[in-house]
């Protein structure tokens, strides 16, 4: 749905890679559900609480400024409690990182010394 009043895209940013099956499954499930949610919002724009990026319509119909986060979207996706607990733990862990520790999710690291570019 393309109108001047509604957001126009769903953007996925690539995170650091993982070989952990649980992490991969949660990420794939989340991405699929976000796309489904975008279709739901396009079919029924009134369900999307954000009318611009400074005002958000709350469940009780009141408006609040600057309030939407990924957990608001998870509620609309209707993720199960296990998935929400998984994501809450991950957000909490990575928000508390120390530079260069195992929880540092910044993409500013150098490739390993043995890396050979294909370019």
Residues 69-87 pLDDT 10s:
788 888 888 888 999 999 8
Q: What is the pLDDT of residue 75?
A: 84
pTM of the model: 0.62
Give the pLDDT mean for 11-31.
Answer: 81
37: left (phi over 0), alpha (psi -120 to 50) or beta: alpha
117: pLDDT strictly greater than 80: no
Whole-angstrom distance, CA of residue 29 vs CA of residue 26: 5
Kindly report the number of other CB atoms within 10 A of residue 41's CB atom: 20
User: Where would I find the H helices in 1-119?
Assistant: 21-43, 70-77, 81-95
- Number of alpha carbons in the 13 Å side-chain half-sphere of residue 78: 3
10: pLDDT strictly greater than 80: no
- What is the pLDDT confidence band of residue 105, given thresholds at 50, 70 and 90? low
65 forms bridges with which residues in the sheet?
55
Kindly report the number of other CB atoms within 10 A of residue 68's CB atom: 15
């Amino acid at each position: 749905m393309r109108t001047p009043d509604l957001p126009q895209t769903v953007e996925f940013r690539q995170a650091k890679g993982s070989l952990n099956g649980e992490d991969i499954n949660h990420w794939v499930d989340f991405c699929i559900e976000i796309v489904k949610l975008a279709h739901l919002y396009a079919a029924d724009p009134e369900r999307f609480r954000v009318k611009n990026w400074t005002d958000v319509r709350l469940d009780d119909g009141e408006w609040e400024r600057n309030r939407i986060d990924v957990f608001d979207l998870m509620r609309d996706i209707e993720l199960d409690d296990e998935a929400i607990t998984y994501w809450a733990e991950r957000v909490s862990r990575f928000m508390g990182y120390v530079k260069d520790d195992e929880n540092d999710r910044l993409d500013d690291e150098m490739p390993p010394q043995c890396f050979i570019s294909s370019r």
